[in-house]
Amino acid sequence: MDFNKRAPESLCWLNGEIMPTAQARIPVLDHGLLYGDGVFEGIRFYQGRAFRLQEHLHRLSDSAAAIGLPLPLDQAALEAAVADLIEAFVVPDGYLRLVVTRGEGSMGLDPSSCKRGNVFIIAAQMELVDPDKRRRGIRVILAATRRLPVDGLDPRIKSLNYLNHILARMEASNAGAQEAILLNARGHVCEGSADNVFIVRNGTLLTPSVSDGALDGITRRQIISLARQEGIPCEEKTLAPYDLYTADECFLTGTGAELIPVREVDSRPLKQCPGAVFNQLQRVFLLLVRMESTDA
């Protein structure tokens, strides 16, 4: 099928074949569909090149190993699939969702009947918030829905089980906000429904630790690294709602989100939005993306 004349709304690479996403099918007995038994990665691509692909594939491999899921393809094959899909998508910038399911098996929780997983990658253009809200900052709430405890499901595993994040996001929509921040069982800040949380207090950048329930986000890691390169003090620290309410700045990071400033938390306006630290990190992050996407 020729995709070169015009990019469709989205494309899917499914077990070796590229097709319009609307035509992609997996069996209804796939345990990823029935039980959320699988892992995934979200990956941005810029100028036809996947950003930090090796880091994403390494995390995918770790997530799969943690749940005892054999990956049907090795890293080289996954890299080739990503490259083929980006080329077919035509549009140079976009978002990939790479999913590995347990595969088709018998009804029931026992995965032993699943002989081989399904792999699919979706390429699409995605904006989590409209450009005006991204420029002015978004409204967030603290969700009543809590983050799954770290002793129940390690936050380093990017599994297909996102129900509590979906419920939190529904809370945000019902409150007229653009995002929800989840707390852990102790009432400490973890992360957004699909992004990591940073605040700035007295010139220091603070973000919740993985041990508190935050995803070890790849964009999160990059922002921490860039902050230190820029001479901005940065700490992983346990944060309470009070810390968000009284922060000088707050912003969210993620592969899908990139960097998004927050202007109010639970209807409490923040002191700066976007603030000086956000603007500085946004500038150097975009410069990094530009350099890596054009580096031959």
Q: CA-to-CA distance for 101 and 94, rounded, in angstroms?
A: 23
**Which run of H or of E encompasses 98?**
strand 94-101
Q: Which of 115, 158, 237, 271 is catalytic?
A: 158
User: Coil, strand, or helix at residue 118?
Assistant: coil
Residue 158 falls in the annotated catalytic set: yes
Rounded CA gap, 208 and 215, in Å?
9
Burial state string for 170-184 with b = 16 or more CB within 10 A and e = fewer than 16: ebbeeeebbbbbbbb
For residue 92, give the nearest of 48, 42, 51 by alpha carbon: 48
- With contact defined as beta carbons under 8 Å apart, do 264 and 140 qualify? yes
Helix (H) or strand (E) holding 45: strand 38-46
| Angle at which helices 218-229 and 53-66 cross, to 10° | 130
**SS3 of residue 29 by DSSP:** coil
- What the block records as the tokens of 181 is 């921040």
Asked whether the beta carbons of 140 and 121 are under 8 A apart, the reply is no
User: Which tokens belong to 252?
Assistant: 């969210």
For the chain, how many residues are written? 296
Number of neighbouring beta carbons within 10 Å of residue 135: 10
- Which two three-digit tokens encode residue 249? 């700045």
CB-CB neighbours of 103 under 10 Å: 24
The residues carrying an active-site annotation are: 158
